[in-house]
Structure 1
Amino acid sequence: MELDPARLTPREARALFQGGLVTPTSGWAAGWAQANLIALPRDRAYDFLVFAQRNPRPCPVLAVTEPGAPFASIFDGDLRTDLPAYRVYRDGEQVAEVTDVTSYWRDDLVGFLIGCSFTFEAALLEAGVPIRHIEAGTNVPMYLTDRPCVPAGELSGPLVVSMRPIPAQLVPVAVRVTSRYPAVHGAPVHVGDPAALGIADLGTPDFGDPVEVRDGELPVFWACGVTPQAAVMRSRPPFAIGHAPGHMAITDARDSAYLVP
């Protein structure tokens, strides 16, 4: 029987990732929230909390771990093994992309789970809004912008956005649907001309895969939880671990937990 990722429970999906499956998680475990991961040493954790508080659109914090703990209140798994892929940074440089960070994990690491726009994709589909990267079976395209985040302590960096092409007549629907999910990035930060965000070429995303923007469609941009990793690359803390962009933590929290009236 062919695997249907959308019908899996979080536990079933995490077991596949723990077994070595590497895949973007858009469309997986329908009905369950997904999250970005950034883990920093305890002496940098306060700076990140303040950075997130000052930049709530790209960095909505869903959960914070105790130092060294590989689990969180909304994630009944192992943050070291149960995501499809991870990136490891030293002094802001990526030194590894792996499927298991157990050997890199430290007793002083504080993990942050950050809201992810994959969480509202089921609601978009239900409202009749197509999602090109799901149709294509690829990763969502993500871009560095020229919009700086508000710095905090030693952390600074640019806003990162994800992009979905939306038929022009459905853009108001997409805005209305996603605005009801502020804890997972909420409404778009920009619609239309990518140059207004400093993006020169939609065909060459900084993270993820390019997707086609067809006639009659507009590129729609949402704040993205890869922003913390962009801050790591810009600010160069001694050590950090993040998810590989698009390869998320599938949590035990329902999408509906983050829906506001």
Structure 2
Amino acid sequence: MYQEKIITPPSGYLTLVLFLALLGGSFYGFATENFVAAGIVMLINLFLVLPGLIINNPNEAKVLTLFGKYVGTVKTDGFFWVNPLTTKKKVSLKARNLNGHQIKVNDKLGNPIEIAAVVVWQIKETAMAMFAVEDYLQYVTIQSEAAVRHLANIFPYDNFEDEEATITLKDGAEKVSSLLEGELSERLSRAGIEVIEARISHLAYAQEIASAMLQRQQATAVIAARKLIVEGAVGMVEMALERLSAKNIVELDEERKAAMVSNLLVVLCGDRNVQPVVNTGTLYS
């Protein structure tokens, strides 16, 4: 792997003064009709002095190569002069956002889901970013998508079908993001790229099963609500029978108790209003 070599070139201000002086000398040569000397000075000025001047902005780097060989990287911001024969490639060191596209993939249980992620990254090793991969921007995009696909394949969307799952894509946001960040860091380290943050930005069932999964979730919610209602109704019936027996309000045989329990459960567990019927006779008529 290419090892980054940071260099600090000489200041460009002295070279700029030299450039202006040579430019004035060439003009003077033309004015005194010394065309050969003036032309040579002008060529030196334009092809050897001026091309070596570079401006490096904050959070920016210049990667220098000379005849196919890596020379070094300029990371210090300022005005410098470098070998005019070197090739200078600008690399931004600022943090960047990658808003991944929504992709369709199967989760651990084989359910098709739609998932996307947001990745914040920046270049740390300029030499690796320029020479280890063909195009580091495309490399980040493809590897991020591959990491998201792999993450979706090893975890279920939720634990409706896999109740033993401790981590799910839906409920384990922090853990899933941490795993995604770790896998991306490993994948992108080859290109000298540091992953600052990675999070799931979109997660949903695929369109073809979304309605079925919604019905399943609604059914699960209804069952949970019914279970709570039944537990509460049984407790109320039990309390009613105990209070009636403790205060000796009425004595009921087993058949009457069963009828009372049945009626109370119908009233308490029903999802519609019950119309009461008043018995004007005896309990046994």
Q: TM-score range by the shorter chain?
A: under 0.3
Q: Give the TM-score normalised by the residue count of structure 2.
A: 0.21
Structure with higher Rg: it is: 2
Q: Give the TM-score normalised by the residue count of structure 1.
A: 0.23
Which one has a larger percent helix, Structure 1 or Structure 2? 2
